[in-house]
Structure 1
């Protein structure tokens, strides 16, 4: 059966190094512009503003605490940073003792539990990442590992009821689900969807489907639990992450860029774009 295609996406903004960790926040799309240290916010007309510059070049990712304070994962430094009211960045959690590899992505649930992934054991020779892990930082500051042996930990999303966490396992071509307990612990690990591709960033919609970005296949795909493909949005370059936002959260924003391999992630090329296309169902859950 032929996979249905969505409308062709339009360019919202361009000239980025390459965008990652897109988040819809306070009426704008926030994006980590990897390779520059910038965190930018893009409005509906494509105008962008640098909101913060961090010392991390890559990887780094963002989300917000329920009280509105910004969190930044400084991946190679192994630190979870928090921006306080005066604009200063302070260490919210020190993750250095939990990994020999860089940290990657973050999501905060509706109760203030923080999940950070990536990391894991030291990578094997010729590899850039070891088997991934997920750590939990609770509102009281406690830190503990809640999952391991993730096949390249990438995008994460939580259902609106805070009861299910989905993670993209890029090197296993699947989305994996966990039940979330009241204390934030993860259990009942299971395959949510086997995929014909390599999932990177993900987000939930109100129909219970997940959108995932795919770098080598240059598209974003909407799937339901079990793996049935509902819709595909194609691009002319790698799709790194996606987020539902805009009016009524029915615009699918895609961060896309030409992929030249890990060795060239900090080049001077500025092929990064934010694309936008109308989605069939609004975004829900976390990241919000």
Structure 2
């Protein structure tokens, strides 16, 4: 299989090199436009395209940054290919500083999504063991939910519904690393006592998920489906009312995502190397291009919630990332804050 990712921005609808984007939501310098080798894209009128080149680097030397979250004044992330979970205070990041990310815990195998339970405990998706690990104050972790008896594929990203303390976690549905043909995968709901059950099935590589602010709507990224799918969250945590929330432009493969205060979702397209702000119905209002890179995950945070943290890597092949350690998290300023 191909482990490459990242495209090049289309030549149209991009400000001149050295100019400034006029997007209402993104403030980032623009570099030269380069044509995509794989053909034209269908972008909505008015979409502004920018690039990641002038973003501020927050942390580098990561193999594969996943699980970006803003919590308690710090940026948290998983290094998926090492199983490590870190946090950092971006306010003190400076090339001249010796401040380093703080190791919070290490998971056996690969780590992915992060969240916090109602009692304040960090939970981590332990992909290989197909468990959700809860992390104690000393950094030790223990099984919070064990899905290994019902799920044979790797677990993926998770989200904790703050209103109920329930966790939603997806699974690949097939052996990606073994080269198996893709199959639809499941989404599980985990109750606050650690018990789990199937919430939805037939999702085409369920990945990141967000609860839309002020609603009981869960929106799930289907990576190989190229879409965002919405569900109504029922009182018992079950899901109903499945519907397409947004069909994404051709070729977009949504991985990580984050929701803002207006209910728009920033989507990370791992294969095409771009971060898209999408509203319900599929309109793309803003785009940040990361040419030649995997656009993996993102999070809104900072003091005013208007800093968008962008996670990228050069490959999702574990052997490649072990050699290059080219993963990094960068930051840009946006207008619409997190919820």
The TM-score with structure 1 as length reference comes to: 0.91
Match of 1:52 among 99, 104, 107: 104
- Shift of the 5–121 alpha-carbon distance from structure 1 to 2, 3 Å rule, reads closer
Distance 1:122 1:215, change over 3 A: closer
TM-score by length of 2: 0.78
Alignment of 1:174-253 (within 5 A): 174-196=227-249, 197-236=252-291, 237-253=293-309
The 2-side partners of 1:119 and 1:263 are apart by: 17
Partner of 2:80 in structure 1?
34
The answer to whether the Cα contact below 8 Å between 1:37 and 1:56 also exists between their aligned partners in 2 is yes
Deviations, residues 244-264 of structure 1 (Å, cap 9, x unaligned): 0112111110110112x5463
Stretches of structure 2 that go unaligned for 5 or more consecutive residues are 1-44, 94-98
Mapped to 2, the partners of 1:178 and 1:55 lie a distance apart of 30
Q: Which structure is higher in strand share?
A: 1
Inter-partner Cα distance in structure 2 for 1:101 and 1:141? 19
d(CA) in 1 for partners of 2:181 and 2:107?
A: 21
Mapped pair 1:132 → 2:180: no
- RMSD after superposition: 2.1
Residues 87 and 104, structure 2, Cα contact 8 Å, conserved in 1: no
Provide the residue aligned with 1:72 in structure 2.
124
Hey, what does 2:319 align to over in structure 1?
264
Contact 1:62/1:71 (8 A) holds in 2: yes
Question: Gaps spanning 5+ residues in structure 1: where?
Answer: none
Q: Distance in 2 between matches of 1:135 and 1:85?
A: 26
Of the structure 1 ranges 155-164 and 244-253, higher mean CA displacement relative to structure 2 is found in 155-164
Q: 2:136 aligns with which of 71, 84, 94?
A: 84
Aligned-partner Cα distance in 1 for 2:109–2:183: 20
Contact kept? 1:201, 1:240, Cα under 8 Å: yes
SS of equivalent residue, structure 1 residue 264: helix
**1:199-243 per-position Cα deviation (integer Å, ceiling 9, x unaligned):** 110111111111001122211000110001100112242110111
Q: Which deviations, in whole Å up to 9, do the C-alpha atoms of 1:84-142 show, x marking residues without a partner?
A: 34543111111001211000111101110111111446679832764211111112333
Within 2, Cα distance between the matches of 1:277 and 1:122? 35
Q: How many residues of Structure 1 are paired with residues of Structure 2 in the alignment?
A: 283
Contact preservation (8 Å) 1:60, 1:104: yes
Q: Which moved more, 1:118-127 or 1:221-230?
A: 118-127
